[in-house]
Amino acid sequence: MEIEDLKAIWQKYDSKLDHLEKINKKLIMETLSKKPQKKLNRLKYRSFYSLFLVPLVLIVALQENFRIEYIDLKFVIGCLLILTFVSVMCYLNFKCFMALKGADLSNDSIIESSRKVTDFKRLFVKKRKFSLMYFPLFFAGVILIGWNRFHFDLNLILIWIGVFVVSLVIGFNQLKTYKSRIEQLEKDIFELNEYVK
């Protein structure tokens, strides 16, 4: 065999090896991106269903108070407080959903996916802080809507205070938990970067 034949064979096997390496990286990337993609889809789904869940739960929970005999100034103020809170929350949920809507780890670059998750994280933290900050106004709106049906005594006041405190504690815990999940997702996406190169 001449040197030219050996070079041709070498280049042939070298190109096959490069092709196999690309296929291996692609398979590794697809395998490793499944878990973060599931997390991403779960966050997307939660953002989507929360668009409809918050208003639906409020309507179902407060439907008994929507009677003509209960409508007065307190009822209207309570409805305005709740409507404002729910409108802003739905808007922020929609923005969170849109931030993740196009995220696809198998097709997007790592930088693009990471940017989308970072945008979602920023919006999510903003949404949670908003909801925790304005929760007292929302709570006051619920009380004002049901004002005519409540018989305020010490037990009811203590129950309302307990519900308020427990709701705030759950909200703070959810904020921490979800924030750590999003940070873990960011870390998982960033770790995929070494397989792209």
The pLDDT confidence band at residue 110, using thresholds 50, 70 and 90, is: low
The pLDDT confidence band at residue 159, using thresholds 50, 70 and 90, is: confident
29 pLDDT above the threshold of 70: no
Distance between the two ends of the chain, CA-based, in angstroms?
37
Tell me what pLDDT residue 141 has.
85
Tell me what pLDDT residue 50 has.
74
Report yes or no on 90 lying in a domain. Answer: yes
Q: Mean pLDDT lowest for which of 5-19, 101-115, 171-185? A: 101-115
Report yes or no on 82 lying in a domain. Answer: yes
Report yes or no on 140 lying in a domain. Answer: yes
Tell me what pLDDT residue 26 has.
65
Check if the beta carbon of residue 103 is closer than 8 Å to that of residue 40.
yes
The Cα-based distances of 185 to 37, 38, 149 in angstroms read 9, 10, 46
The model carries a pTM of 0.64
User: What is the span of the domain harbouring residue 150?
Assistant: 36-196
Report yes or no on 14 lying in a domain. Answer: no
For residues 51 and 54, what is the distance between their CA atoms, to the nearest angstrom? 7
How many domains are contained in the chain?
1
What mean pLDDT comes out for the span 20-27? 67
Phi then psi for residue 152, to 5 deg, are -75, 115
139 pLDDT above the threshold of 80: yes
Most confident residue range from 14-18, 105-109, 154-158, 171-175:
154-158
Positive/negative CA dihedral, 42, 43, 48, 50: positive
For residues 39 and 47, what is the distance between their CA atoms, to the nearest angstrom? 12
Q: Mean pLDDT lowest for which of 4-8, 33-37, 122-126? A: 33-37
Tell me what pLDDT residue 32 has.
56
The DSSP secondary-structure symbol of 105 reads T
Q: What average pLDDT does the structure give for the chain? A: 76
144 pLDDT above the threshold of 80: yes
Report yes or no on 75 lying in a domain. Answer: yes
Tens of pLDDT, residue by residue over 52-84, are 777 777 777 777 777 777 678 888 888 888 888
Percent above pLDDT 70 for the chain: 82
Report yes or no on 158 lying in a domain. Answer: yes
